[in-house]
Structures are given as C-alpha cells and as structure tokens.
Amino acid sequence: MTEALIECLYAAPGSTLKTGDKLLDLSVDLSGNFAQDCPPISYFRIIIREAIVLRELRVARGESCPVGHLIALFGSTADGATDQPPQRGIRIATAGIIHHGGMWTGNDH
C-alpha cells in the first residue's frame, strides 16, 4: 500500500470530538501488487478514542493520501497555534467497513 483514498469526512475544523466519534472513511487498493480477477479494495473507518478538538483538516473527500501524510491537527482546546510540529498522535480505532452510498468511490461527483 502506498496511498489511501479519503472517502468520507465526518468532522469539520473546530469540531469537538469525543470517544467513539467518526473522523473519516478511507479505501485502500492493493491491486498494484499482483493481478486478480477482483481488485483487492478494502474500506476502513477511523474512530476517535479520546476527547479532542479538530483544529485543522489537511485532506479533502476524494483526495489520495500517501502513507505517512499528516491528515489533521488536533488539540485539547479550539484555540492554539497550528504551525507547531505535532507532539503526539491521537488515539484512534480502525474498523473495516463495507462500501456505502456516502463514499466518494462509485458515486457521481
């Protein structure tokens, strides 16, 4: 895997998120590694596991995101500088999901 496609965004900058809130859905296409009859595309949801404020979102729906790319900045409050380097990653859970109608892939844009 070299990148993921941002399928859905569930939070906007300034949103206060709590444990269990959805952040985004993404898809991963592994078909570049070997040929198959059916492309090995998997869908995942990123779920927040701590109380946090989304300060800045650095991806958009339908955007390809390379591995290791910083997708968002968070803080314990809504104010504060976003030009400082991140101090730590946030606590998340990842869940495998099935394709749904709100996703970028397979819908007219």
Chain mean position to CA 75: 17
Report whether 17 contacts 48 (CB < 8 A).
Answer: yes
pTM listed for this prediction:
0.86
- Per-residue pLDDT tens for 48-75? 999 999 999 999 999 999 999 999 999 9
Distances in Å between the alpha carbon of 16 and those of 31, 41, 70, 99?
Answer: 37, 31, 19, 27
In sequence order, the β-bridge partners of residue 15 are: none
Chain mean position to CA 77: 21
- Per-residue pLDDT tens for 91-103? 999 999 999 999 9
- Say how far apart CA 13 and CA 60 lie, in whole Å: 12
